[in-house]
Structure 1
């Protein structure tokens, strides 16, 4: 990757790192909630189980997004960011603007 490309991607990388840190904090809060004690009453336990299911869903979403962001940062670092992981063509700048962690182009996504 050229110095110019590196400089152009620095803000994208920075934004991805910030998003990664934010997700890690959220994930930590979710994990703390899930590992917390449960009430002794049956009704309260039922409500807490429902909340745990919702939190588990959030946890999975955060982990998936975090993995995508880490992969995008790795692609920036190795010089393959912006290339479709399936067909090798360039990913449209508008797509990367909206979803900077996108690993594939719209043709392959569709």
Structure 2
């Protein structure tokens, strides 16, 4: 099994999350129906979309910070204890700044 280049993986994630955020922003900017009952449903949907947008923006920021750690040569080191983050954890959560022990 070949290792995936962390920079390429992080850049792909950054694009994915940014694209997701843009799509949500487009959905939120649409006009609402004239019917009050339809507007109520649309407003509820907007609340869900706003939550998803917050998550997507936070994910973009986390990935950007991981790329900064990569540039600084500290990617894969736990920000809390300084120990290496396991390869399996980085594979599952490429932007994580913490080892499994410190994440708990």
Q: Same fold (TM over 0.5)?
A: yes
Residue of structure 2 in register with 1:75 after alignment: 69
Aligned residues: 102
CA shift for structure 1 position 81? 0.3
Q: CA offsets per residue over residues 40-99 of structure 1, 9 Å max, x none?
A: 110010010011011111101111111111111111111000111111111111111111
Residue of structure 2 in register with 1:65 after alignment: 59
Match of 1:99 among 88, 93, 101: 93
Q: The residue matched to 1:84 in structure 2 has which SS?
A: coil
Matches within 5 A, 1:1-110: 11-110=5-104
Between structures 1 and 2, the one with greater helix share: 1
Alignment root-mean-square deviation, CA: 1.4
Rounded Cα–Cα distance in structure 1 between residues aligned with 2:47 and 2:54 = 11
Unaligned runs of 5+ in 1: 1-8
Unaligned runs of 5+ in 2: none
TM-score w.r.t. length of structure 2: 0.91
Structure 1 stretches of 4+ moved >3 Å: none
CA shift for structure 1 position 10? 7.5
TM-score w.r.t. length of structure 1: 0.87
Q: The residue matched to 2:5 in structure 1 has which SS?
A: helix
